[in-house]
A and B are shown apart, each in its own frame.
Chain A
Amino acid sequence: MKEERHQIALIGNPNIGKTTLFNKLCGLNQKTGNYPGVTVDQVKGFVKVAGQEVELIDLPGINSIFPTSEDERVVYDFLTNTDTVNKPEKILVVVSALNFKRNLYLFHQIKDLEMPVVLVVNMLDAAKKQGIFIDLEKLGKLVGCPVLGVSAKTGEGIEDLKKMMLEKVPESKSEISNYNLSLDKEKLKAFAQNSGLTSTYAGFLQLIFKEEKELVHALSNGNTTPHKLRVNESILRYKLINSYFTEVYREDKTKASDFSTRLDRILMHPIWGYAIFLGIMFLVFQAIFTLAAFPMDWIDEGTTAIGSFLKDLLPEGYLSDLVTEGLIPGIGGVVIFIPQISILFFFFAILEETGYMTRIVFLMDRIMQRFGMSGKSVVPLISGMACAIPSIMATRTIENRKERLITILVAPLLTCSARIPVYVILIALIVPNTYIGPFGLQGLAMLGMYLLGIVSALLSAWVFKMILKSKHKSNLILEMPRYLVPSMRNIGISVWKSVSSFVTNAGKIIVATSIILFVLATNGGDKFENAETLVAAQDVKLVGDAFDSELAHFKLENSYLGWIGKKIEPVIKPLGYDWKIGIALISSLAAREVFISTMAIIYNIDSEEPLTIKEKMQREVNANTGMATFSLATSVSLLMFYAFALQCFSTVAVTYKETKSLKWTVVQFSYMSVFAYLVSLIVYQLLA
């Protein structure tokens, strides 16, 4: 017998506490799409109810079933999809008691699709505090669906909701036929059936969505257009809601604290608003550096220690070397990110949860428009300072195609966390660790790199704005949620999900490149095989340690890896790099953070003593110039290269996925590479 499988979808407007509810029900028992960040892809979770497993699908928050942006489209497709494989058994429409009328609009749209619908009214606790009362029983009778009241935060009503999940719910009744839409109802019904759609309303939506002007003309005897239909439908729907609204909803105006309104007067103030925004950003990044510095040092020292420990433990040989000199430094290179990424995602989760992110959209819209983007671009761009992947995915909320494309193209210029370790080590090499007043010089240099990222992103955006043409008009119509105290549980889950998927994704690339690099570095042609005789013949006076060191160097130079590095040396020499840096550049094409692990691998192979990476880099001497490899000029040039070049395969992949255009993927990769090369070249030539 086939196992019975309960599949239930969660739908609702943005910011109504759907994620909180989902987390409450499923805990960590959930499967996300691929990447950390905003819930854009389908998220699935599992709940056990009375011994049965229920699969919950969390759909992106939408304002209307009628799609205006990519993530709204996901829901439209999901619900009107005719193939029955993915049809959920039930649909829970979640609404917020704090924003009741607006949310009922979406509920009625979904209800018209004639599916088993349950209405879940969330935020009951907050509603009580704000003097809002909703008569759920009466509402249930009026709309003819099961209605439940819950608070995702306090857990009120959650048990009843779970029980409801196993109950049979009849298909909802459509109201669309009661509307005076000047369409021939029978013909509309026939059209829907002939198109293989499950409900008359789905047929109606298709008429509008596909702008079937002629069909609409025929169905209405020339009385209306798809556009007019859409507007009329909305007006009639609100009329319907208004007809019963006062019967079920009461608000005690004197009790409504209107805390949000007063807070907005400061946070959205033409002057204070911006000052506070900058202050918050400054605090966030300050916290990242001061708080993450300690665990990062421990991890760096820890990996060095584990490496030498394993070296003593394992029997000497190729395998031992592969582990201690390839794998361990490689994994260390991933683990070292965890503190910073966690802190960053922690703050973003707070900004998102409290409702502050929308205020940023309001404050920044005008400025972003100057650069061809929308206020909505700010959120993806800020998350680009964590990682370009969730950033590019988060652009789906931007309706205008040109604005979205520009945001995608420039997002990788912002200083993502993969650059941090590279910057940290290079800055530590060239900037003294001294303080001017309360400001550390190294911290200021880091701040400078962040500003460089922001300025270059804005400038590139401006250039794209000038080049690109847009057919569509750009719109920004966005609802602002009331401020809410964030839930620590939500934040914890969000950070955990982001960090774990980042580590697994970056981890795979880093471990793979580490192994490949190691194999390439420890194998080579004839010269490599006969290294000992050749080195001995070169200089007979060399003995002991000096011989070993020279031998190691000779071997690396003549390994396959060395050969690759030497091949590209002519191209990168004008930038001040030698072949060893060349190897690091090539291997970090896949992911920037590989730079550090590559350095670790190259210099581990090259030397016998266990030193931290920074110490090893400081000791390096450039064979071409005879001076320290990481001189001021080279280090600054490298900083510029890593600031501008798109060294991240995952970003390339996600850009392709999101733009569905090879052209724009190539454009993004090329403009960044060319820019990186030119700036590094100029910087090196000026400083050297």
Chain B
Amino acid sequence: MNIRLTKLKQRVAAKITAIESEEVLARLVELGIMPGVFLSVQNKAPFNGPLAVLVNGTKIIIRKKDAYFILLEA
């Protein structure tokens, strides 16, 4: 079962299965965010603000609308 990154609970690690937007994919892949990699949500900004996710030991800010395209193995 796949879930979207926006639905992932805080501080739970999950494996990326797919990134559905080509545009977002190109940017994320450069940061090492790609299918097969584990990530977790560390912080959430209020009022649908961005997420801070932890990947490969680095924290990265992603807007919610971009996070929506990231699918995870639940």
Given contacts A475-B66, A477-B24, A478-B60, 9 further A-B contacts (CB under 8 A): A66-B30, A265-B43, A268-B45, A362-B52, A365-B61, A366-B47, A476-B62, A478-B61, A480-B60
Asked whether any CB of chain B lies closer than 8 Å to the CB of A473, the reply is yes
| CB proximity of A87 to chain B, nearest CB, Å | 26
Contact in complex: A238, B32 (CB < 8 Å): yes
User: Are B56 and A101 in touch, CB under 8 angstroms?
Assistant: yes
- Against A, the Cβ 8 Å flags (1 = close, 0 = not) of B23-54 are 11111111110100000001111111110100
For residue B33, which residue of chain A has the nearest CB? A477
Q: How many A-B residue contacts, CB cutoff 8 Å? A: 103
A362 touches B63 (CB 8 A): no
- Closest-by-CB residue of B relative to A270 is B46
Collect the chain B residues with CB atoms within 8 Å of residue A230's CB. Answer: 26
Identify B43's interface contact among A63, A268, A271, A477, CB under 8 A: A268
Q: Name which of B23, B30, B49, B59 has the most chain A CB atoms within 10 A of its CB.
A: B30
Which residue in chain A gives the minimum CB-CB distance to B21? A473
What is the chain A residue whose CB lies nearest that of B25?
Answer: A231
Are A480 and B31 in contact (CB-based, < 8 A)? Answer: no
Residues of B whose CB lies within 8 Å of any CB of A are 22-32, 34, 42-50, 52, 56-63, 66
Taking a contact as CB atoms under 8 Å apart, the answer to whether A101 and B32 are in contact is yes
Indicate whether A223 reaches chain B with its CB closer than 8 angstroms: no
Complex CA gap A234/B32 in Å reads: 8
Interchain residue pairs with CB less than 8 A apart (27): A66-B30, A99-B58, A101-B32, A101-B57, A102-B31, A102-B58, A105-B30, A227-B22, A227-B26, A231-B22, A235-B34, A264-B42, A268-B45, A362-B45, A362-B49, A363-B49, A366-B45, A366-B46, A366-B47, A475-B23, A476-B62, A477-B60, A478-B60, A478-B61, A479-B61, A480-B52, A480-B59
Query: How many residues does chain A have at the interface if contact means C-beta atoms less than 8 Å apart?
Result: 36
Residues of A contacting B: mostly = helix
Q: Is B63 touching A234 in the complex (CB atoms < 8 A)?
A: no
List, in ascending order, chain B residues with CB within 8 A of A264's CB.
Answer: 42-43, 52, 59
Q: Beyond A64-B30, A99-B58, A366-B49, is A476–B63 a contact (Cβ under 8 Å)?
A: yes
Contacting pair A365 B22 (CB below 8 A): no
**Which B residues are CB-close (under 8 A) to A361?**
61
**Minimum Cβ distance to chain B for residue A681 (Å):** 38
Least CB distance, A439 to chain B, in whole angstroms: 30
What residues of A have a CB within 8 angstroms of the CB of B32 in the complex? 101-102, 105, 238
- A362 pairs with B56, CB closer than 8 A: no
**A456→B38 CA distance, assembly (Å):** 44
Task: Let me know if A366 and B42 touch, CB within 8 A.
Answer: no
The 8 Å CB contact of B62, one of A68, A234, A477, is A477
